[in-house]
């Protein structure tokens, strides 16, 4: 009972007295009403918090606020990602942050325990969405959509041990692109890989490659090596850890924890070390064990076709057929892939980055059918860009280079060198705003000119318009360039036109 253990004595007493009051009318007597218990616990915990003399204000574990600096970097990256999705004809979409719990259960394999559940407040049982793929499949089934190319950018939540160093949080943004529908083989799959290449090249993150495999090859390999079918998904999740753990440790997990025969594990070990281009696909067609397995052969046929299309897309040299790629999630049924950034040689002062996978996805032909009352399937293939890691990399690089970002877009500042010019400044700034010009002024009746100019310098505002007694009398306005400190006087009525001209030139 870890929670109650934290309560101070007074709160404990309050909790006990609430629990010992007579059961409510609808209770059976044998069982105390759950909502009463929960309410009592909550009240006591809150009391405990409020009683703390040094109340510390903080945010939930594993989450963070995004400051204006963060937001500027994100906006740039998301713009690039979304414009790539739109270039490929995708429509936007959104789903609620939470789903019925039953919609999400039994979709994520070993990771299901990491879901955030909502408290039962007398309605439905709800959980925060864990990814954007299951809600998409639920949407297709619910609306009987048979064909759709959509993108979805949104937050998802997982109760993982947060690793802030690696930019991993419990709340994070996902950017997904998926193609649903019955089409000729491998054309949409190849497009997904093309999109990953376009995005990673566009972001200029350095060199990268994409590991590709097929769930049918993974399963075929398991069968050929002698893994019992009941252990397929469990062994799959062990294999999935090969990018973070050594083979020896993965082997240990499979044998000691998952009860796999050591010789079976060793046979798998031979395969998972294989990776290469299309020639490896050809080689595997000749493999004595794999070539006996119908599923594996289907997977290999598809990969061969995939490589053909990837060559036409001009990205075949970025792709590596990798038998160690397994992908942890239960719902994949065909091609799977994962993009990995290559470590750039550490530049002077740049911290080494261990970034791992920055994009991933695959084919999931069975998921929509799980939501359809009659089991009607809609084949799907998609990808997810690991934008959080990308944000982290870009932010680290900017830090190393000492790059600063402007967090506002203000173009013009309205200043005065004299007292009692608030009214004139308000009139002036109204003209600018109404003309669509981004403008600011200080919220003071009588600010000093130096303070006003300093504000422009520190926030990167390029232009200042200055009004004072002299200007008012002569019907003019001064425009000052913050960078060059040059000032010119123009007629007041030409202000907006002159500013617009200058902004369009810069």
CB 438 within 8 A of CB 410: yes
- Which of the 8 DSSP states describes residue 418? S
Q: How far apart are CA 411 and CA 464, in angstroms?
A: 9
Residues 6 or more apart in contact with residue 302 via CB below 8 angstroms: 185, 186, 189, 214, 334, 335
474 binds a second copy, rule: CB under 8 A = no
Question: Is 178 annotated in some ligand binding site?
Answer: yes
Q: Among 10, 49, 401, 419, which residue interacts with a second copy (rule: CB under 8 A)?
A: 49
- 176: closest CA among 388, 358, 328, 385? 385
SS3 143: coil
Q: How far apart are CA 364 and CA 333, in angstroms?
A: 5
For the packed helices 232-239 and 215-225, what is the interaxial angle rounded to 10 degrees? Answer: 110
- Least Å distance, CB 456 to a second copy, is 11
- 362: closest CA among 328, 384, 337? 337
Q: Which stretch binds a second copy (CB under 8 A): 134-142, 250-258, 276-284, 329-337?
A: 134-142
- Which of the 8 DSSP states describes residue 57? P
Question: Is 305 annotated in some ligand binding site?
Answer: no
Alpha helices in 130-170 (DSSP H): 133-142
Q: How many CB atoms lie within 10 A of CB 484?
A: 7
SS3 27: coil
Strands 380-385 and 171-180: antiparallel
Q: Among 21, 65, 165, 230, which residue interacts with a second copy (rule: CB under 8 A)?
A: 65
Q: Among 8, 68, 259, 262, which residue interacts with a second copy (rule: CB under 8 A)?
A: 68
φ/ψ of residue 154, rounded to 5: -170, 170
Question: Is 331 annotated in some ligand binding site?
Answer: yes
6 binds a second copy, rule: CB under 8 A = no
φ/ψ of residue 412, rounded to 5: -135, 140
Q: Among 139, 209, 222, 337, which residue interacts with a second copy (rule: CB under 8 A)?
A: 139
- 3-state secondary structure string across 211-249: EEEEHHHHHHHHHHHCCCHHHHHHHHHHHHHHHCCCHHH
Q: Among 13, 38, 489, 497, which residue interacts with a second copy (rule: CB under 8 A)?
A: 38
Residues 6 or more apart in contact with residue 21 via CB below 8 angstroms: none
- Least Å distance, CB 118 to a second copy, is 6
> In this complex, which beta carbon is closest to a second copy, that of residue 86 or of residue 257?
86
Q: Among 244, 438, 491, 501, which residue interacts with a second copy (rule: CB under 8 A)?
A: 438
Q: How far apart are CA 506 and CA 462, in angstroms?
A: 10
Q: Among 29, 31, 230, 486, which residue interacts with a second copy (rule: CB under 8 A)?
A: 31
Q: How far apart are CA 484 and CA 464, in angstroms?
A: 12
- Least Å distance, CB 319 to a second copy, is 15
288 binds a second copy, rule: CB under 8 A = no
76 binds a second copy, rule: CB under 8 A = no
234 binds a second copy, rule: CB under 8 A = no
- 369: closest CA among 40, 195, 192, 134? 134
Strands 357-363 and 126-128: unpaired
- Least Å distance, CB 99 to a second copy, is 7
> In this complex, which beta carbon is closest to a second copy, that of residue 245 or of residue 398?
398
The strand ranges marked E within 266-343 are 275-276, 319-322, 335-341
Tell which positions 213-232 bind a second copy, by CB under 8 A: none
Question: Is 337 annotated in some ligand binding site?
Answer: no
Question: Is 410 annotated in some ligand binding site?
Answer: no
Q: Among 22, 29, 122, 402, which residue interacts with a second copy (rule: CB under 8 A)?
A: 122
Provide the residue count of the chain.
506
> In this complex, which beta carbon is closest to a second copy, that of residue 77 or of residue 268?
77
Q: Among 14, 19, 261, 274, which residue interacts with a second copy (rule: CB under 8 A)?
A: 19
Q: Which stretch binds a second copy (CB under 8 A): 185-193, 219-227, 346-354, 485-493?
A: 185-193
Binding mask 296-335 for a second copy (x = CB under 8 A): -------------x--xxx---------------------
22 binds a second copy, rule: CB under 8 A = no
Q: Which stretch binds a second copy (CB under 8 A): 61-69, 228-236, 339-347, 394-402?
A: 61-69
Residue where the block lists tokens 């390029």: 462
> In this complex, which beta carbon is closest to a second copy, that of residue 127 or of residue 324?
127
Tell which positions 160-179 bind a second copy, by CB under 8 A: 171, 179
- Least Å distance, CB 69 to a second copy, is 9
In terms of Cβ atoms closer than 10 Å to its own Cβ (0-12, 13-18, 19+), residue 78 is middle
Tell which positions 357-386 bind a second copy, by CB under 8 A: 371-373
Question: Is 132 annotated in some ligand binding site?
Answer: yes
Q: Among 89, 228, 262, 375, which residue interacts with a second copy (rule: CB under 8 A)?
A: 89
Q: Among 13, 66, 489, 497, which residue interacts with a second copy (rule: CB under 8 A)?
A: 66
Question: Is 158 annotated in some ligand binding site?
Answer: yes
Q: Among 8, 51, 125, 257, which residue interacts with a second copy (rule: CB under 8 A)?
A: 125
Binding mask 388-427 for a second copy (x = CB under 8 A): -------------------xxxx-----------xx--xx
Q: How far apart are CA 230 and CA 171, in angstroms?
A: 33
Q: Number of residues interacting with a second copy: please give it, by CB under 8 A.
A: 121
φ/ψ of residue 487, rounded to 5: -125, 135
Question: Is 389 annotated in some ligand binding site?
Answer: no
Q: How many CB atoms lie within 10 A of CB 333?
A: 20
Binding annotation: 131-133, 158, 174, 178, 327, 331-332
Bind-site residues for L-histidine: 131-133, 158, 174, 178, 327, 331-332
């Amino acid at each position: 009972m870890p929670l109650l253990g934290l309560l101070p004595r007074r709160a404990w007493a309050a909790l006990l007295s609430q629990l010992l009051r007579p059961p409510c009318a609808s209770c059976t007597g044998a069982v105390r009403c759950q909502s009463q218990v929960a309410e009592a616990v909550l009240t006591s915990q809150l009391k405990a918090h409020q009683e703390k003399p040094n109340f510390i204000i903080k945010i939930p574990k594993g989450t963070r606020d995004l400051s204006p600096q963060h937001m500027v970097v994100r906006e740039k990256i998301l713009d690039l990602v979304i414009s790539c999705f739109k270039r490929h004809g995708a429509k936007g979409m959104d789903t609620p942050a939470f789903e019925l719990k039953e919609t999400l259960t039994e979709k994520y394999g070993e990771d299901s325990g990491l879901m955030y559940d909502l408290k039962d407040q007398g309605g439905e049982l709800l959980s925060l969405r864990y990814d954007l793929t299951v809600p998409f499949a639920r949407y297709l089934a619910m609306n009987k959509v048979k064909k759709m190319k959509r993108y979805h950018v949104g937050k998802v939540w997982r109760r993982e041990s947060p690793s802030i160093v690696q930019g991993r949080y419990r709340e994070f943004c996902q950017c997904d692109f998926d193609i649903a529908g019955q089409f000729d083989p491998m054309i949409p799959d190849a497009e997904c890989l093309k999109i990953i290449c376009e995005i990673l090249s566009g972001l200029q993150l350095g060199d990268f490659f994409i590991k590709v495999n097929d769930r049918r090859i993974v399963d075929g390999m398991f069968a050929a090596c002698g893994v019992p079918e009941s252990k397929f998904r469990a062994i799959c999740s062990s294999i999935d850890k090969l990018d973070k753990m050594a083979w020896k440790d993965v082997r240990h997990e499979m044998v000691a924890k998952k009860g796999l025969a050591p010789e079976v594990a060793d046979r798998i070990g031979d395969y998972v070390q294989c990776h290469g281009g299309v020639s490896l696909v050809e080689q595997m067609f000749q493999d004595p064990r794999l070539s006996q397995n119908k599923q594996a052969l289907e997977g290999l046929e598809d990969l061969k076709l995939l490589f053909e299309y990837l060559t036409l897309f001009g990205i075949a040299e970025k792709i590596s057929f990798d038998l160690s790629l397994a992908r942890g999630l239960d719902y994949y049924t065909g091609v799977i892939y994962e993009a990995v950034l290559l470590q750039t040689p550490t530049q002077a002062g740049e911290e080494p980055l261990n970034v791992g996978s920055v994009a991933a996805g695959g084919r999931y032909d069975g998921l929509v059918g799980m939501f359809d009352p009659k089991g009607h399937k809609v084949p799907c293939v998609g990808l997810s860009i690991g934008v959080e890691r990308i944000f982290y990399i870009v932010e680290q690089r900017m830090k190393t280079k000492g790059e600063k970002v402007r967090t506002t877009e203000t173009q013009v500042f309205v200043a005065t060198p004299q007292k009692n010019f608030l009214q004139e400044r308000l009139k002036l700034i109204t003209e600018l705003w109404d003309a669509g010009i981004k403008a600011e002024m200080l919220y003071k009746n009588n600010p000093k000119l130096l303070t006003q100019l300093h504000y422009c310098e520190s926030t990167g505002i390029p232009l200042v318009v200055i009004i004072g007694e002299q200007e008012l009398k002569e019907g003019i306005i001064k425009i000052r360039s913050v960078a060059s400190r040059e000032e010119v006087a123009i007629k007041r009525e030409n202000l907006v036109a002159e500013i617009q001209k200058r902004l369009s030139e810069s």
